[in-house]
Chain A
Amino acid sequence: MDIATQAIEGGFADPVFDAQTVFRAVMDAMARPGTLQPLPVFARPPAPLSATAGAIALALCDNDTPLWLDLVLQPPAAIKSWLGFHTGAPLANTPADAHFALIATPAEMMALDGFSQGTQDYPDRSTTLILQVSDLVSGAPLLLEGPGIETTATIAPAQMPRHFVEQWKQNNQRFPRGVDIILATPEGVACLPRTTRIKTMEA
């Protein structure tokens, strides 16, 4: 299949309702950090962009939202064409200009503070990171607390960034600035908004 055909195929079959369903799953996941909000397969982007991460990009990105692709997603022309065709989102010149970042290999990603953190006046002007992970159970367990969580929640996402707990603590300390994370798994989405704290177990 040539790139032009690949770019056109694999978008939402029913753009209005698919976008609403994907958004609602992300909204519920952001409102209830650490919960997995299931999603069926709505999009078939070129590899290695995952179906879930691709669907989130289609639901949230457009020509107002510069997009950053990580080192694995940058080279394939098919991915840029697919995202360009279906969202119209321009590529961000630097991570700090990105409204959204798509990360296929979180374990090798750059530091969280390299992305836009927003400003003290406009903390919403920050990058939302979409991390592709294979599951939420096989990584190091993270005990979560904060808004949206009644007591505590636990997830163990695979392939998380290096020194994630320490990086996330620093992200918390920048509040109200900071990045928010959407974890895209083959089953659905889970979120870590900047308010979520990772509790370190007492030794």
Chain B
Amino acid sequence: MTAQPTDIATYNFAYLDEQTKRMIRRAILKGIAIPGYQVPFASREMPMPYGWGTGGVQVTASIIGPDDVLKVIDQGADDTTNAVSIRAFFKKVANVAVTTETAKATIIQTRHRIPEHPLTAGQVLVYQVPIPEPLRFLEPRETETRKMHALEEYGLMHVKLYEDIARHGRIATTYAYPVKVEGRYVMDPSPTPKFDNPKMHRSPALQLFGAGREKRIYALPPFTDVVSLDFEDHPFEVQTFDQPCALCAAENVYLDEVILDDHGGYMFVCSDTDHCEKRREQGHRGHLAPESPLEKTEPAQ
């Protein structure tokens, strides 16, 4: 035996033991077969706190293989602490290639955004979900919400949205805006901005949702109808921005407000950092873009 012990030999591949992976894999298959239905699973403790995406991490750990290329985003950014930690975790425990480029990734784990670059067949988008139950704020009891899903009793959900209209003149919900999947299950799209809801509809990519603390997995197969709840007289509308990205001049993308100084200065820039960098590399310049050419950032090792 000449093989040198490697780092990876001290872990289970992708951290989870095989029995846990099998259990999660079976839940994923059921989720795909019943789009929008929340499959219970026995969530495991992960070496990171809840709120750090333990549900998404367990899903990714159960599907990932040595040939995968992983991208991790947090609110659209590849370089936040959360995204960097999860990426480093999988580099260590699964020895997989990582990327910040949406087009190069086979698995994208996300917290609260869908990349601007269109996803393609063969890609898997894994969502970190804090509260998977879209009816939870109407009904705290799990037994009751389960019954409501079983009987397709979604009247209360519509009442709540309509109350929004009565109060605000429009539906005020801008995050975790509920959707109906294939005309059957009402589903929480996770706290993504409703701007991203239309990207879920008939996406060529497979979308998997993992809620660690709440122990639920659900899924959207590719080319699945995902319709945001609305009313005839108040149709669903995505947020619009009245100015393009200050750095890359992109329009029709989701923008974050960034504070520039102590004097109330701010700018609106792409929430999707990879998209913004790609556009600047291509020569697009917003009105606040720096003079010097952009330096390419590499994923953290």
Contacts and interface: CB of A to CB of B under 8 A. Distances in A.
A175 B225 CA distance: 16
B150 A193 contact: no
Contacts of B21: 19-20, 23
Interface residues of A, number: 39
Given A60-B26, A124-B34, 9 more contacts: A17-B13, A20-B13, A23-B25, A31-B222, A65-B26, A122-B40, A147-B35, A193-B33, A194-B33
Contacts of A149: 223
Interface in A14-51: 15-17, 19-21, 23-24, 26-28, 30-32
Nearest to A63: B19
7 contacts: A20-B64, A32-B222, A60-B29, A122-B40, A147-B223, A148-B223, A176-B37
Interface of B: 12-13, 18-19, 21-23, 25-35, 37, 39-40, 62-66, 121, 146-147, 150-151, 182, 184-185, 204, 206, 220-225
A195 interface: yes
A186 interface: no
A28 B206 CA distance: 9
A27 B223 contact: no
A181 B34 CA distance: 13
Interface of A: 15-17, 19-21, 23-24, 26-28, 30-32, 59-62, 64-65, 99, 119-124, 126, 128, 147-150, 175-176, 180, 193-195
Given A20-B65, A62-B19, A195 B26 contact: no
Nearest to A176: B34
Contact of A30 (B29, B185, B204): B29
A74 to B, nearest CB: 23
Contacts of A62: 19, 22
A110 B258 CA distance: 63
Contact of B65 (A15, A17, A195): A17
A20 B12 CA distance: 13
A148 B204 CA distance: 8
